[in-house]
Amino acid sequence: MKIALVHDHLAQMGGAEKVLQILCEMFPSAPVYTLLYDEKNVKKNFPNIHIEPSIIHKLPGGKKHYKWYMPLMPMAVEFFDLSDYDVVISDSSSFAKGVITKPNTFHISYCHTPTRYLWSDTHQYINDLRYNKYFKKIISLILNYIRIWDKLAADRVDKYLTNSRTSLKRIKKYYRRKAEIIYPSIKIDDFSITKKQGDYYLAGCRLVPYKRLDILIEAFKKNGLKLKIFGDGVDKKRLEKIAEGYKNIEFLGQIEDDEKTYLYSRCIAFINPQIEDFGITPLEAMASGRPVIAQKKGGSLESIIENETGVFFEKESPEDINKAIQKLKNIKINPEKIREHAKKFSHENFKKQFTEFLEKEYKKFKEEV
């Protein structure tokens, strides 16, 4: 069985890229086709993996300013020649699922979500853009064209997998397709419990508007507690301006894995203010024996046990976040029990479920061809 992996892009690391890492472990000889990649990211996180970039990688500014090439991305993924492969596995939240395969090639898409800025978050995405209203209209027209392509591209997939019930519902609504859930996973042994408790709360992700770190910062401006934020992104300057003058809020930027592990294990709690499709960072915190404070929506409902491994807040507001912080103070936390819960989301479980799905569905596909 000759397999190829397809991924949106490798410009940075996030939850989707961590799933790709597992797939690379499972299929080490499979090349990874992707729109573009950052050399440092690939060298560090995907060593010894053959990467096949698209034409966008070679265009001027294609690596650093790739978002400007969005209108060309549908064409770019369709240029990938995958005719030599028996199985194509796309790991996608945008364009990778749109590859063209031959009738005798089985295409599984692990769809993290139908593209947010095209479907569920499209109005918020346009509103958050820091351009004038005329330029926003042009971008809206481009998104309309890509949305039509995205729906057509979604029909090319033979079988869908996804990461949560939240994403399952979106796939059904926007693509009119069925999917099965295999939860993302973490390397449990990379994290551990420590008795050395710190005096800070922790948050971390790509710093983009929909992650809602702005309301988290406002909450800590009011409560005066220590907050450390790791990660980088386009929203960093705006967030730093919101936190300006508040010494209790610290931006750490991009950090190494060992430092992140250290921060997880010693934080009072990890806070996840945004609605996530699933969410890897809360799992990493729980694998370190630390509770999670999260909004009571989306994938958090599937990974967090209320009052045992964390607490929820109802409204997307600083006031509700601070109420949840106070609520957590009144709950007796058992780090060992939290870590035990996180073990359900191990790499071993993911690999077992994925392998069983692939073998079962590929056999059916070959019988039908």
Q: Give the count of domains, the chain.
A: 2
pTM, two decimal places: 0.86
Taking the C-alpha atoms of residue 69 and residue 240, their distance in angstroms, rounded to an integer, is 28
Do residue 287 and residue 354 come from a single domain?
no
pLDDT given for residue 37 in this prediction: 95
Specify the residue for token string 């692990």: 110
Do residue 71 and residue 87 come from a single domain?
yes
Do residue 56 and residue 162 come from a single domain?
yes
Helices (DSSP H) in the chain: which residue ranges? 15-26, 39-45, 73-78, 122-128, 133-154, 165-170, 213-223, 236-242, 257-266, 281-287, 300-303, 318-329, 335-342, 347-368
Q: What's the CATH code of the domain at 354?
A: 3.40.50.2000
Do residue 261 and residue 351 come from a single domain?
no
pLDDT given for residue 369 in this prediction: 67
pLDDT given for residue 146 in this prediction: 95
Tokens of 18: 């961590």
Contact 341, 305 (CB under 8 A): yes
Do residue 170 and residue 263 come from a single domain?
no
Three-state DSSP at 114 gives coil
Domain range for 122 is 3-185+347-368
Do residue 180 and residue 35 come from a single domain?
yes
pLDDT given for residue 351 in this prediction: 96
Do residue 15 and residue 49 come from a single domain?
yes
pLDDT given for residue 62 in this prediction: 85
Do residue 16 and residue 34 come from a single domain?
yes
Do residue 225 and residue 326 come from a single domain?
yes
Q: Which amino acid is at 320?
A: D
pLDDT given for residue 65 in this prediction: 87
Do residue 219 and residue 263 come from a single domain?
yes
Going residue by residue through the chain (369 aa), what tens digit of pLDDT does each one get? Answer: 999 999 999 998 888 999 999 999 999 999 999 999 999 999 999 999 999 999 999 999 888 888 889 999 999 999 999 999 999 999 999 999 999 999 999 999 999 999 988 998 888 888 877 777 888 888 899 999 999 999 999 999 999 999 999 999 999 999 999 999 999 999 999 999 998 889 999 999 888 888 899 999 999 999 999 999 999 988 899 999 999 999 999 999 999 889 999 999 999 999 999 888 888 999 999 999 999 999 999 889 999 999 999 999 999 999 999 999 999 999 999 999 999 999 999 999 999 999 999 999 999 999 986
Three-state DSSP at 49 gives coil
